[in-house]
Amino acid sequence: MCILVTGGAGFIGSNFILEWLSLCDEPVLNIDKLTYAGNLYNLASLAIDQRHTFVKLDISDYTVILKLLADHKVRAVVNFAAESHVDRSIHGPEDFIQTNIVGTFRLLEAMRTYWKGLADSEKTSFRFLHVSTDEVYGSLGVDAPPFREDNRYNPNSPYSASKASSDHLVHAYHHTYGLPALITNCSNNYGPYQFPEKLIPLSIHNALAGTPLPIYGDGQQIRDWLYVKDHCTAIQMVLKYGRVGETYNIGGAAEKANLEVVRTICDILDKENPKAGGGSYKEQIAFVKDRPGHDRRYAIDHGKIGREIGWEPTESFTTGIRKTVRWYLANQKWVAEVTSGAYLEWIEKHYIA
Ligand code: NAD
Ligand code: DAU
């Protein structure tokens, strides 16, 4: 038996696999298309580990996935594979529709066929866990209560609309066909191996490179931040203890305005890696044009997963962000490897052109 992880060469997927194999010996079959965001360097420590099998594959490939499911006797699936960057979805939504909607649909079809053919006991214990986002709920007012699982879906960007569609498909496959599926909706993750297109790694990278730290609009947009390892633990616990057909919100109880996040990163860097010529990294902060349709605030009520499953975040933003900055300082080689070629084209297109 083994678990199938899709998108396991990405940020959260690779953290999840590393964490999983540090805790147990159950093998992991990892399928990933290796888009610009997929990076096998993240899993270099597993290069000769027999418990990890990597297959370069699109989640839309029904036929190969069906064969892999049977060959590896997969007992559970965690679906991370997605196009995940909001700004890219604004520049070009097509890949988001293709992977997040059509890809999830094809993957679900493979699951349905495979699951139907399992023995009764295996059918009952099988799990399909779909990893989703808090962005499906839309934008919150300043004083509105945090998102709960029964909030109405109200996605605003092509990214969040495509994730909302995939959530609806997963729900429908449970409701209509009985597929034992669960959905998790998580807030903003940060930590090791995050591609430097997202706010936190981009800010650390630019600060060290001596380039501007771009803040969209007034920088007062609020996100809830969760250290990636806490997200991975939550997913493991939902896989084991979650009630089939249910949705669980996951968050860090750490609402911060973007400007505060970037200033905190600068404060840490000022101490850990003082600028050669003196002064603060804060001097590099630059206000730039706002993201079109920018959601103002997200916040998560993670009461349900706490009550039903006993999960709570272990890392505060203060401890998590310090660990993260230190990881990037210690892993400049990883950053250099992922910030060439296609990455530079993205920066040019989005920030400079
Ligand atoms: P990521 O962009 O770092 O990684 C995505 C991975 O999926 C990459 O390795 C990529 O190569 C792979 N992939 C893309 N299209 C594929 C396809 N068609 N077939 C197979 N593999 C494909 O994303 P992430 O930040 O690790 O996010 C993982 C999941 O978690 C996504 O579903 C995302 O929506 C969700 N999520 C992310 C966050 C966050 O803050 N990063 C928060 C909540 C939920
Ligand atoms: O909420 C969960 C979501 O968090 C995930 O579903 C997405 O996959 C993930 O990318 C993330 O989406 P965001 O749009 O919130 O993340 P991002 O890091 O792109 O931006 C965080 C905030 O910072 C957002 O308000 C936009 C702002 N920002 C971002 C960048 C890249 C800036 O001000 N400047 C920037 O250069």
- Residue 138 and residue 295 in contact, taking contact as beta carbons nearer than 8 Å: yes
Residues 103, 108, 110, 112, Cα dihedral to 10°: -170
Residue 348 DSSP label: I
What atom of ligand 1 comes closest to residue 159's alpha carbon? Answer: 34
Across the chain, what does the average pLDDT equal? 97
Q: Does 45 have pLDDT greater than 90?
A: yes
Look up residue 271 and give its DSSP letter: H
| 61, 80, 157, 195, best to mutate for ligand 1 pocket (most atoms within 8 Å of CB) | 80
pLDDT for 155 equals: 98
pLDDT surpassing 90 at residue 30: yes
C-alpha R_g of the chain:
20
Predicted confidence (pLDDT) per residue in 222-273, tens digit: 999 999 999 999 999 999 999 999 999 999 999 999 999 999 999 999 999 9
Residue percentage of the chain with pLDDT more than 70: 100
* 59 DSSP 8-state letter: T
Q: How confident is the model at residue 342 (pLDDT cuts 50, 70, 90)?
A: confident
What average pLDDT does range 131-152 have in this prediction? 98
> Which two tokens mark 350?
């989005």
Q: Kindly state if the Cβ of 30 falls inside 6 Å of ligand 1.
A: no
If you measure from the C-alpha of residue 85 to the centroid of ligand 1, how many angstroms do you get, rounded to a whole number? Answer: 9
Burial class (CB in 10 A: 0-12, 13-18, 19+), 206: buried
Q: 2: which strand partners?
A: 74
Backbone angles phi, psi at 54, to 5 degrees: -110, 135
Q: Taking phi first (over 0 means left), then psi (-120 to 50 degrees means alpha), and beta for anything else, what does residue 191 get?
A: left
**Above 90 in pLDDT, residue 8?**
yes
Q: Per-residue pLDDT tens for 154-184?
A: 999 999 999 999 999 999 999 999 999 999 9
> Which token pair is 143?
């004083």
Return the higher-pLDDT residue of 1 and 101: 101
Residue having the nearest C-alpha atom to atom 10 of ligand 2: 85
Between 353 and 104, the higher pLDDT residue: 104
Please return the burial class of 243, using the count of CB atoms within 10 Å of its CB with bins 0-12, 13-18 and 19+.
Answer: exposed
Gap between the terminal Cα atoms of the chain: 50
Distance CA 70, CA 126 (A): 13
Q: Does the pLDDT of residue 353 top 80, yes or no?
A: no
135 catalytic? Reply is: yes
pTM above 0.85, yes or no: yes
pLDDT for 269 = 98
The mean per-residue pLDDT over the stretch 88-114 comes to 98
CA of 283 to the centre of ligand 1 (A): 32
94 carries an active-site annotation: no
Q: Is 82 in the pocket of ligand 1 (CB under 6 A)?
A: yes
Strand order of the β-sheet with 181-186 is 52-56, 28-32, 2-6, 74-79, 127-133, 181-186, 247-250
CA of 304 to the centre of ligand 2 (A): 25
Taking residues 110-116, report their average pLDDT. 98
Structure tokens belonging to residue 319 = 């401890």
DSSP-assigned beta bridge partners for residue 127: 76
Contact 61 CB / ligand 1 (< 6 Å): no
From 321, 313, 165, select the one nearest 250 (Cα to Cα).
313
Task: Find tokens 């999983």 and name the residue.
Answer: 20
pLDDT attached to residue 340: 85
CATH assignment of 2-192+227-253+294-314, among 3.30.70.2190, 3.40.50.800, 3.40.50.720, 1.20.1250.30: 3.40.50.720
- Does residue 33's CB lie within 6 angstroms of at least one atom of ligand 1? yes
Measured distance CA(14)–CA(349) in Å, rounded: 27
Contacts of 6 (CB under 8 A, 6+ apart): 13, 30, 31, 32, 59, 77, 78, 79, 80, 81, 107
Chain centroid offset of residue 221 CA: 19
From the CB of 104, is ligand 1 less than 6 Å away?
Answer: no
In terms of pLDDT, which residue wins out, 305 or 343? 305
The pLDDT assigned to 175 comes to 98
> Which run of H or E residues covers position 320?
helix 317-330
How remote is the CA of residue 84 from the centroid of ligand 1, in Å?
5
Catalytic residue chosen out of the listed positions 134, 167, 197, 315: 134
pLDDT of residue 77 exceeding 90: yes
- The rounded distance, in Å, linking the Cα atoms of 146 and 233 is 22
Q: Is 328 assigned a catalytic role?
A: no
**Ligand 2 atom at minimum distance from 163 CA:** 6
Ligand 2 closest atom vs CA 197: 31
Any ligand 1 atom below 6 A from CB of 7: yes
Residue 341: pLDDT above 90? no
Task: Confirm if 237 and 309 have CB atoms less than 8 A apart.
Answer: yes
Which among 12, 49, 35, 99 is positioned nearest to 338, based on CA atoms?
35
H-helix or E-strand spanning residue 214:
strand 213-216
208, pLDDT greater than 90: yes
Give me the residues paired with residue 56 across strands: 32
